[in-house]
């Protein structure tokens, strides 16, 4: 007698938590370029489908689920969600990065790269803090106190996480453009070697922190 199993297939990243994503990423790194093994990981972690039953699935169902998952899997360039509710508390993304608390900046700076890995939840805990005052789209968030509660962000869905990561990617592009513009404007005023050294020192650390954006995304399964 065949055993009937119910499988819930996510339609987008809003149905996938960071906890499941990190577990998926860890397993997929193990299987490398084995596409079928990697997709088995997708079914297991994104759909919570028991691995031992995958080979018993009929081909039409398998291909249908695979198509549904791949429709959104590589779409990770999402919009920043400035607010998110966790356990009934509304959290807001740092409203003005140029005025970020020095302690928050230092704590983020200790990470060599910014990408969705085991340390990402800590970064999110720094960037998203409880909203203390809100008026329309404007809000204030709790003053940074150095306490990092990364566990709280493990159950936040990946649309929020990818939105924040995409924000940093675009910020990286802005920093690079600003660097090139500064080089062009100052080229004739100060000897290039001296000015180049100064500009790169000013912008280099921030750019380095953001440089692994593409490494944070899995290789495409659409090959």
Per residue in 153-184, pLDDT tens?
Answer: 999 999 999 999 988 776 655 455 444 455 45
Residue 48 covered by a domain: yes
| Span of 75-84, 112-121, 214-223 with lowest mean pLDDT | 214-223
Are residues 89 and 168 located together in one domain of the fold? yes
Kindly give the pairing relationship between strand 138-141 and strand 128-135: antiparallel
Alpha-carbon span 164 to 130, nearest angstrom: 16
% of the chain with per-residue pLDDT over 70: 74
Q: What is the pLDDT of residue 171?
A: 65
Are residues 88 and 164 located together in one domain of the fold? yes
Residue 150 covered by a domain: yes
Q: What is the pLDDT of residue 7?
A: 86
Are residues 133 and 60 located together in one domain of the fold? no
Are residues 55 and 103 located together in one domain of the fold? no
pLDDT at residue 209 greater than cutoff 50: no
Question: Residue 20 belongs to what domain range?
Answer: 13-73
Higher pLDDT, 222 or 49: 49
Last residue of a domain, one of 25, 43, 73: 73
Per residue in 140-157, pLDDT tens?
Answer: 999 999 989 889 999 999
Q: What is the pLDDT of residue 190?
A: 52
**Please, which pLDDT band fits residue 185 given cuts at 50, 70 and 90?**
low
**Please, which pLDDT band fits residue 12 given cuts at 50, 70 and 90?**
very high
Q: What is the pLDDT of residue 52?
A: 83
Are residues 115 and 66 located together in one domain of the fold? no
Residue 221 covered by a domain: no
Instruction: Indicate the number of domains in the chain.
Output: 2
Are residues 52 and 134 located together in one domain of the fold? no
């Amino acid at each position: 007698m065949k055993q009937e199993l119910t499988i819930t297939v996510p339609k987008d990243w809003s149905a996938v938590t960071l906890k499941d994503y990190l577990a998926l990423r860890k397993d997929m790194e193990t299987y490398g370029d084995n596409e079928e093994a990697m997709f088995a990981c997708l079914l297991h972690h994104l759909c919570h489908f028991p691995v031992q039953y995958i080979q018993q699935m009929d081909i039409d169902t398998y291909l249908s689920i695979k198509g549904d998952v791949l429709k959104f899997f590589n779409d990770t360039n999402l919009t920043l969600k400035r607010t998110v509710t966790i356990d009934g508390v509304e959290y807001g993304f740092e409203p003005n990065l140029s005025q970020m608390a020095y302690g928050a900046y230092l704590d983020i700076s200790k990470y060599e790269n910014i990408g969705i890995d085991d340390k990402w939840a800590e970064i999110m805990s720094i960037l998203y803090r409880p909203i203390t005052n809100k008026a329309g789209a404007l809000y204030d968030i709790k003053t940074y106190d150095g306490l990092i509660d990364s566990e709280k962000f493990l159950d936040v869905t990946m649309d929020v996480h990818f939105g924040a990561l995409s924000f940093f990617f675009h910020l990286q592009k802005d920093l690079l453009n600003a660097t090139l513009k500064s080089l062009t404007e100052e080229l004739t005023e100060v000897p290039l070697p001296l000015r180049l050294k100064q500009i790169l020192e000013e912008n280099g650390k921030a750019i380095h922190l953001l440089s692994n954006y593409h490494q944070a995304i899995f290789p495409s399964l659409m090959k």
